[in-house]
């Protein structure tokens, strides 16, 4: 199919001519000082003065050239996909890394603290006592832990930072919920009550504690604040395990659509914000957490790297979700307009609508070099191998609207439908596998 380009930004020729005529007429005008032009570029002028400078700039090509050249960063060295979203300070890799380490130390401390009294010759009595006291004490412990879990879930939803925010939450827990503290203390003081509830095995008890603390970093920090001695040995695996908490919240946030200024980005945003991509990405993490909760201490060490892997893939997923405008090269960008048409930005100047297929409302586009893939309503999928000059229809495996297209090259790619179904191909769309 031949490309039919339609210029989106055009004015009648007479407008250019009259603008040029106005320029010629204003040739003798006095130019603003370098000082004023610098202040204009830095937006340091008063409004009336700024308007005067703008009126002069509209008629003076020399001053426009100066203003453009005096801009701080050379434009063509940048490859901008879209304005970079501000990343919260607590989501910085360094903070996450150290936050995860700190959280793991806290968890180990809790484990050690709970484990230590049992070690001091109390194991047998503990098992004995648990046999008799379990039924009475278990509900008490359960009620004591439940609010803490709820609170932690709340704090996780608020995108709690790995280190500092959990500390504050912990402080407010101890101060703001006095009812919890005695209950937790009683659980500490009477290990039989808590430990016997899940099982009588010491190892399993510790595993239970670890999982609980993964779910409740707030409680874990309380222990750290109490100044317990921490052991370094077991910190690393647990650290990776717990570190997944913050990215989970982050990934959920990243999945939510954000209103951006870009008009073309909006259409693509809709595609990126479809429910499909975040859901499957978030699921494995939840499963992993469940797996962790059922694990023993030994298993926790094994589970942790898996969790780290999930976090990594989660990060990738969120990155992809933030890529509504596809980049093909330094000079070309692709997007989908509000009315579902494919558009390209050439040399950073003109968004031009590209007619790909009639009666198809496109919602997502993916570009890699000269390979462009566009997906839209009723499973429509089109592919161009020549930077959008010609397009071929590709048979897609679904009749549903395609919400997202993601191709890394000519062969490998994934399409996601509006309902969240994912299809993958490794042969350029000849065969598809449902995920």
Binding residues for other proteins, rule: CB under 8 A, are 8-20, 22-23, 33-45, 51-52, 54-55, 57-59, 61-62, 64-75, 80, 83, 261-265, 345, 347-349, 351
When the beta carbons of 262 and 424 are compared against other proteins, the nearer one is 262
Calculate Rg over the CA atoms of the chain: 30
Phi, psi (rounded to 5 degrees) for 231: -100, 140
When the beta carbons of 31 and 87 are compared against other proteins, the nearer one is 31
When the beta carbons of 218 and 273 are compared against other proteins, the nearer one is 273
When the beta carbons of 23 and 159 are compared against other proteins, the nearer one is 23
Query: Cα(132)–Cα(390) distance, rounded to whole angstroms?
Result: 78
* DSSP 8-state class, residue 200: S
What is the closest distance, in whole angstroms, from the C-beta atom of residue 93 to other proteins in the complex? 27
Give every CB contact of residue 300 below 8 A, 6+ residues apart in sequence. 207, 210, 237, 238, 241, 292
Query: Cα(74)–Cα(76) distance, rounded to whole angstroms?
Result: 6
When the beta carbons of 305 and 340 are compared against other proteins, the nearer one is 340
What is the closest distance, in whole angstroms, from the C-beta atom of residue 322 to other proteins in the complex? 16
What is the closest distance, in whole angstroms, from the C-beta atom of residue 282 to other proteins in the complex? 30
What is the closest distance, in whole angstroms, from the C-beta atom of residue 7 to other proteins in the complex? 9
When the beta carbons of 13 and 359 are compared against other proteins, the nearer one is 13
When the beta carbons of 126 and 264 are compared against other proteins, the nearer one is 264
Handedness of CA 135, 141, 145, 146 (dihedral sign): positive
When the beta carbons of 253 and 350 are compared against other proteins, the nearer one is 350
What is the closest distance, in whole angstroms, from the C-beta atom of residue 414 to other proteins in the complex? 27
SS3 content of the chain, % helix, strand, coil (to 5): 55, 15, 30
Q: Which of 404, 373, 376, 400 is nearest to 387 (CA)?
A: 373
What is the closest distance, in whole angstroms, from the C-beta atom of residue 19 to other proteins in the complex? 5
Query: Cα(284)–Cα(290) distance, rounded to whole angstroms?
Result: 10
When the beta carbons of 165 and 333 are compared against other proteins, the nearer one is 333
Give every CB contact of residue 316 below 8 A, 6+ residues apart in sequence. none
What is the closest distance, in whole angstroms, from the C-beta atom of residue 333 to other proteins in the complex? 10
What is the closest distance, in whole angstroms, from the C-beta atom of residue 215 to other proteins in the complex? 42
When the beta carbons of 203 and 330 are compared against other proteins, the nearer one is 330
* DSSP 8-state class, residue 201: -
When the beta carbons of 77 and 124 are compared against other proteins, the nearer one is 77
If you search the block for the tokens 């009294």, which residue do you land on? 117
Question: Is residue 44 classed as helix, strand or coil in its secondary structure?
Answer: coil
What is the closest distance, in whole angstroms, from the C-beta atom of residue 323 to other proteins in the complex? 16
What is the closest distance, in whole angstroms, from the C-beta atom of residue 79 to other proteins in the complex? 11
Phi, psi (rounded to 5 degrees) for 161: -65, 155
> How far, in Å, are 33, 38, 356 from residue 26 at the CA level?
17, 22, 45
* DSSP 8-state class, residue 356: -
What is the closest distance, in whole angstroms, from the C-beta atom of residue 356 to other proteins in the complex? 21
Phi, psi (rounded to 5 degrees) for 300: -60, -40
In the sheet where 5-7 sits, what is the strand order? 5-7, 350-354, 342-346, 332-336, 326-327
* Beta bridge pairs of residue 417: 402
* DSSP 8-state class, residue 82: S
Give every CB contact of residue 150 below 8 A, 6+ residues apart in sequence. none
Three-state SS string over 299-351 comes to HHHHHHHHHHHHHHHHHHHHHHHCCCCEECCCCEEEEECCCCCEEEEECCCEE
């Amino acid at each position: 199919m031949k490309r039919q380009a339609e210029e989106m930004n055009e004015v009648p020729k007479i407008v250019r001519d009259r603008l040029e005529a106005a320029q010629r007429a204003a040739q003798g005008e006095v130019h603003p000082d370098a000082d004023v032009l610098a202040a204009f570029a830095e937006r340091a002028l008063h409004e009336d003065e700024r308007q005067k400078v703008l009126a002069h700039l509209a008629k003076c090509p020399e001053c426009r050239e100066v203003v453009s050249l005096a801009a701080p960063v050379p434009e063509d060295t940048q490859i901008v996909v879209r304005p970079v979203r501000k990343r919260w300070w607590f989501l910085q890799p360094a903070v996450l890394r150290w936050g995860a380490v700190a959280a793991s130390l806290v968890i180990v401390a809790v484990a050690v603290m709970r484990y230590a009294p049992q070690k001091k010759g109390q194991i047998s009595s503990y098992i004995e006592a648990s046999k008799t006291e379990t039924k009475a004490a278990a509900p008490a412990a359960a009620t004591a832990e439940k609010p803490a879990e709820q609170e932690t879930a709340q704090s996780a939803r608020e995108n709690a930072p790995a280190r500092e925010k959990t500390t504050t939450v912990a402080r407010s827990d101890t101060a703001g919920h006095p009812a919890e503290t005695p209950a937790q203390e009683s659980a500490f003081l009477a290990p039989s009550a808590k430990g016997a509830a899940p099982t009588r095995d010491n190892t399993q008890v510790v595993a239970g504690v670890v999982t609980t603390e993964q779910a409740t970093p707030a409680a874990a920090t309380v222990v750290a604040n109490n100044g317990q001695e921490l052991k370094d040995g077991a910190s690393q695996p647990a650290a990776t395990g717990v570190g997944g908490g913050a990215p989970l919240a982050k990934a959920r946030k990243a999945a939510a659509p954000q209103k951006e200024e870009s008009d073309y980005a909006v259409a693509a945003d809709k595609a990126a914000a479809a429910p499909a991509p975040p859901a499957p990405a978030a699921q494995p993490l939840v499963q992993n957490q469940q797996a962790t909760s059922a694990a023993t201490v030994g298993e926790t060490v094994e589970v942790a790297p898996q969790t780290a892997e999930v976090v990594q893939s989660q990060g990738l997923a969120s990155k992809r979700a933030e890529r509504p405008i596809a980049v093909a090269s330094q000079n070309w960008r692709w997007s989908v307009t509000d009315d579902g048409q494919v558009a390209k930005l050439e040399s950073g100047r003109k968004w031009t609508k590209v007619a790909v297929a009639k009666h198809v409302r496109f919602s997502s586009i993916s570009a890699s070099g000269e390979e462009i893939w566009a997906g839209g309503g009723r499973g429509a999928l089109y592919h161009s191998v020549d930077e959008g000059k010609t397009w071929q229809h590709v048979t897609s495996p679904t009749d549903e609207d395609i919400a997202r297209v993601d191709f890394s090259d000519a062969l490998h790619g994934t399409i996601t439908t509006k309902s969240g179904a994912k299809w993958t191909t490794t042969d350029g769309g000849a065969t598809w596998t449902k995920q």
